Amino acid sequence: MNLLDPTITHYVMHEKTWKFGGGEILDTDGNVIGRMKRKIMSLRSEIQLQNADETPICIISKKLAAVRPIYDVKTLDEQLISRAKKPMISFRGSVDLYDPEDNLIMKAQGGVTKWNFEIRHPQDKKKVYAVIKKGDKWRDVFAPMFNFKDRYVIHVVDPAIDRLTLLTYAIIIDNVYHD
């Protein structure tokens, strides 16, 4: 199955121990359908999103000179696909996603613990595109010093949502709040 298959309704992002943000993306049956590969020695926290056969799809990287966390998603030939920014002030977890022309296209809103997020339309708060839930949240409470990997479940609510945008957005949310 292709990572960006529009029929996929659930993804499981599973970071591997000591991979520092790298890991596998699974379907609901536990089959590997994609990978996140992080460059270990990268100031920009660069992550390459790949299909299961390790063919690259896009690159996610953090801007170095920014007051707040800003991440760019680019094609392999450096064309901007989207940009995510953490708001300057946010009591609950929040990350905004912009298109290449800097138009707000999605808003991720989380709770105080920043474990679960709803990805919504920026103007129509009732339109939910997807829900991201941290699958191993209690380990963060009871054993934070041993927390070397994360697991997130992404439930696609709107079947028309672009899977590349959704997956890169979920990776960015994890990087902003948990890496």
Burial of 20 (0-12, 13-18, 19+ CB in 10 A): middle
Quick one: pLDDT at residue 127?
Answer: 96
Quick one: pLDDT at residue 9?
Answer: 95
Confidence of residue 158 (pLDDT cuts 50, 70, 90): very high
| 9-50 pLDDT tens trace | 999 998 875 555 689 999 988 999 999 998 765 666 789 999
- Find where tokens 């929040």 sit: 94
Amino acid identity, position 107: K
Q: Which two tokens stand for residue 156?
A: 């696609």
* pTM of the full structure: 0.86
Confidence of residue 69 (pLDDT cuts 50, 70, 90): confident
More confident residue, 174 or 90: 174
d(CA 119, CA 82): 15
More confident residue, 142 or 76: 76
